[in-house]
Structure 1
Amino acid sequence: MELIGNWSYPTTIKFGAGRISELAEACLATGITKPLLVTDKGLASLPITTAALDLLEGAGLGRGLFSEVDPNPTEKNAEAGLKVYREGGYDGVIAFGGGSGLDLGKVIAFMSGQSRPIWDFEDIGDWWTRADPDGIAPIIAVPTTAGTGSEVGRASVITNSETHEKKIIFHPKILPAVVICDPELTVGMPGFITAGTGMDAFAHCLEAYSSPHYHPMSQGIALEGLRLVKENLPVAFKDGTNIEARAHMMSAAMMGATAFQKGLGAIHALSHPIGAMYNTHHGTTNAVVMQPVLQMNRPAIEDRIEAAARYLGIEGGFDGFYGFVGELNHTLGIPKNLTELGISDPDLDTLVKGALIDPSTGGNPIEMTESNTRALFEACF
């Protein structure tokens, strides 16, 4: 193994209950005088969003809002948001919400001063160097779920509305300048969103931990992230008002996104094309395909998973860990397979093609081929 890597770790994080009160202060600290708050349609009218806008208005920062964000945001959402941003004379973005609001908000800020089309900045080679770094507006991220960890990420996942492919748009300066993590904002999350987003965090930690790449800092963070999810997700799911469990899940979400600098794998390679084609919830899809992926990767990860099981207090080594994942999914009401998730008559050829070109394939412990990827999809139905 070559002991070499390029590492970049997160940003300023204001963590704790009630820290949303510091939103206006964070804007001023980053030089934002007229922020555009970007969130999804479902959150736009909820009290937590209204309260955030009230804080901004009270500080003389206006109450700019853009909420035309699909559950799997597209370049069309980005174009609409950019139009509002530019015509409104905004000078920064508050990315507010779950993965969709966070990802789109970051992309609007990134694209605000670019002259090239969005797909020119896909995470391929050094394409990110095509961007004008001075054309990236400052970003503040405020997560309202505990899953994607996009608040500490240097990329956004955007769906191409024509090809139905999820693309990763990357630039180091997409990393938000300030993150406000207030677990009180997650209290109103419905149970199925708590479950799906929580399993997304678990998948990030599990795939980073299993990735063959060398990154011991990520390795340690991933392992502790798994423990936080194991001990707190069932609690948060059962009692959404438990602030301690909600706080630990917000930490786990950030840890997962920090850890996956080490790599992701087949869980995400499968869930990205599934979500793009069938509009399924990303984290829930990750949970559904997790056990089949574990089984496929077993020859390469058995020893590592046995070590994780010992740390997590799970008996039975790999089999015990595999069984734990199944029990956790059952506890959270996760569908047993993709058929139960609502996908019938799947286009396997397109799904396999999409999985094999997904950037996540490079971090899978076993090389993904057309034959084993097809077999893996079939095992998920």
Structure 2
Amino acid sequence: MSCCQHEAGLDPGFDTAFTVDASRITFGRGCIGEVGDRAAALGMRRVALFTDPSVARLELFDNAQRALRDAGLDVVTYAEVAVEPTDESFRAAAAFATDARPDGYVSVGGGSVIDTAKAANLYATHPADFAAYVNAPIGEGRPVPGPLAPHIACPTTSGTGSEVTGIAIFDFLELHAKTGIASPALRPSEALVDPDSTDTLPGEVVACSGLDVLSHALESYTARPFTQRAAPARASARPMSQGANPWSDLGSREALALLGRYLVRAVTDSSDREAREQTMWAATLAGIAFGNAGVHIPHAMAYAVAGQVREFRPSGYPDDKPLVPHGMSVILNAPAAFRVTAAADPARHLVAAGYLGADVSSAVQADAGEVLAGHLVGIMESVGMPAGLADVGYTDADVTSLAAGAFPQQRLLGNAPIDVDEALLATIFRGALSYA
């Protein structure tokens, strides 16, 4: 949809402008070696270096640590980040940062590491009760009161796009649900995106992270247009999740095209460096897109799927606790969700399917949902995903609980191109139980 099409039917009560926010990005093999110079240029002298136990053992992490020290910086390392963070792990990281008193942060790892560094930076810089900044209605949704310390994010998975967004996601253990903190202040100052980091990733991890990217792009592209969002009371109150806009459309389309060409190759052949590099570039593009447009139904549903898991333990991930990886929990909902949202803008859903590689030459708009959903299911099969929520332990008896768990994600559901209530969520969850 072009900018002019977005503007069709403008209403004076709706927004007429969109804002583009993005971190400074350096992309390319070996760029992790720039982190010391970049940190010093941002004024860092004492750096909190965040990672997780697995990444801490990699040569890439050693390279980052060495570059920081060679730049003359004092480095304090926090290597206890949890895979799929929780409120408890965020609190522990914030306590470390408060005690360490750094003047800047560097995160080397996947979205869990980057999100944890964001949260630690926030609570160490602007102390408050934990729920204060957590998205409403689960938390207070209090605005971040001021700027944070500089943060350089160095992603090691081609998936979350966290290096270019102001969002930090975690499991709220007491509520058995995922939620997050969202503010432009959380967006990292810079991102160093080094595809070398993906060369040793297991295929299962590349699949989950890459499918998260795919849904970021699809959800951003099909989100409610920014011209259908109420105009903000003041410019600074315009939300990060503005809805689909010409800027986010550019990133979404290119990310979808890259994933259609390279994702299956990146998953199935670990020696295909071109495919892994292009998948990582797609992740950055989609991160910029959804950081400005927002995601919607599949991600809102994913929080309940991940939060209510009972026994499922995926290959390629730590098996110390039940886990549905974030990208898996998102994509399992996506075909069922897009079957429903296609009615809002069939042409846009067909365009998205075409960018992903589906043959849409003879498709009619009435079939848009089925065309996109069917192509997604084919990609999922090609990269070894479960064939629906039933394969990760859910049954029809769980549908009501899953819908109730997803419905509080109003920040996301309000971005959908259709109105969503619990009954509709239950219908979509039921449709996602099996694609076999």
Shorter-chain TM-score bucket reads over 0.9
Cα offset, 1:191, TM superposition: 0.3
Q: Which amino acid aligns with 2:285?
A: M
Cα offset, 1:130, TM superposition: 4.0
Q: What's the TM-score once normalised by structure 2's chain length?
A: 0.82
| Secondary structure of residue in 2 paired with 1:147 | coil
Provide Cα deviations, 1:332-367, integer angstroms capped at 9, x if missing partner: 000001121244686433321221111211122221
Alignment partner, residue 346 of structure 2: 302
Q: Which amino acid aligns with 2:332?
A: V
C-alpha change, 1:18 and 1:237, in structure 2 (3 Å) is same
Aligned equivalents of 2:115, 2:394: Cα separation in 1: 25
C-alpha change, 1:346 and 1:247, in structure 2 (3 Å) is farther
Cα offset, 1:42, TM superposition: 2.4
| 1:210 counterpart = 2:222 | yes
| 1:139 counterpart = 2:170 | no
Aligned equivalents of 1:315, 1:366: Cα separation in 2: 26
Q: Which amino acid aligns with 1:248?
A: Q
Alignment partner, residue 365 of structure 1: 417
Aligned equivalents of 1:173, 1:212: Cα separation in 2: 24
Q: Which amino acid aligns with 1:349?
A: T
Alignment partner, residue 287 of structure 1: 331
Alignment partner, residue 186 of structure 1: 198
Aligned equivalents of 1:348, 1:274: Cα separation in 2: 10
Aligned equivalents of 2:396, 2:353: Cα separation in 1: 36
After TM superposition, list the pairs within 5 Å mapping 1:66-81 onto structure 2: 66-81=78-93
8 Å CA contact 1:113–1:132 kept in 2: the answer is no
| 1:254 counterpart = 2:266 | no
Alignment partner, residue 374 of structure 1: 426
| Secondary structure of residue in 2 paired with 1:7 | coil
Aligned equivalents of 1:346, 1:168: Cα separation in 2: 27
Aligned equivalents of 1:298, 1:178: Cα separation in 2: 36
Alignment partner, residue 386 of structure 2: 335
| 1:268 counterpart = 2:299 | yes
Q: Which amino acid aligns with 2:418?
A: I
8 Å CA contact 2:93–2:120 kept in 1: the answer is yes
| Secondary structure of residue in 2 paired with 1:254 | helix
8 Å CA contact 1:213–1:263 kept in 2: the answer is no
Aligned equivalents of 1:196, 1:322: Cα separation in 2: 18
Alignment partner, residue 161 of structure 2: 149
8 Å CA contact 1:119–1:169 kept in 2: the answer is no
Q: Which amino acid aligns with 1:36?
A: A
Aligned equivalents of 1:117, 1:241: Cα separation in 2: 47
C-alpha change, 1:139 and 1:274, in structure 2 (3 Å) is same
Cα offset, 1:57, TM superposition: 2.7
Alignment partner, residue 314 of structure 1: 358
| Secondary structure of residue in 1 paired with 2:77 | strand
8 Å CA contact 2:95–2:124 kept in 1: the answer is no
Unaligned runs of 5+ in 1: none
Residue-pair matches, total: 380
8 Å CA contact 2:264–2:382 kept in 1: the answer is yes
8 Å CA contact 1:17–1:183 kept in 2: the answer is yes
| Secondary structure of residue in 1 paired with 2:83 | coil
Aligned equivalents of 2:85, 2:418: Cα separation in 1: 30
Aligned equivalents of 2:157, 2:180: Cα separation in 1: 21
Q: Which amino acid aligns with 2:81?
A: V
Q: Which amino acid aligns with 1:201?
A: V
Aligned equivalents of 2:104, 2:417: Cα separation in 1: 40
8 Å CA contact 2:40–2:71 kept in 1: the answer is no
| 1:29 counterpart = 2:41 | yes
| Secondary structure of residue in 2 paired with 1:28 | helix
Alignment partner, residue 58 of structure 1: 70
Cα offset, 1:194, TM superposition: 0.2
Cα offset, 1:124, TM superposition: 4.6
After TM superposition, list the pairs within 5 Å mapping 1:108-257 onto structure 2: 108-124=120-136, 130-134=143-147, 136-214=148-226, 215-257=245-287
| Secondary structure of residue in 1 paired with 2:106 | strand
C-alpha change, 1:349 and 1:128, in structure 2 (3 Å) is closer
Cα offset, 1:105, TM superposition: 0.9
Aligned equivalents of 2:113, 2:397: Cα separation in 1: 28
Q: Which amino acid aligns with 1:297?
A: T
Q: Which amino acid aligns with 1:185?
A: S
Identity of aligned residues (%): 28
| 1:349 counterpart = 2:362 | no
Cα offset, 1:93, TM superposition: 1.2
Unaligned runs of 5+ in 2: 1-8, 227-244, 310-322
Aligned CA RMSD, in angstroms, stands at 2.2
8 Å CA contact 1:157–1:166 kept in 2: the answer is yes
| Greater fraction helix | 1
Q: What's the TM-score once normalised by structure 1's chain length?
A: 0.93
| Secondary structure of residue in 1 paired with 2:308 | helix
Aligned equivalents of 2:355, 2:99: Cα separation in 1: 53
Q: Which amino acid aligns with 2:36?
A: A
Q: Which amino acid aligns with 2:413?
A: T
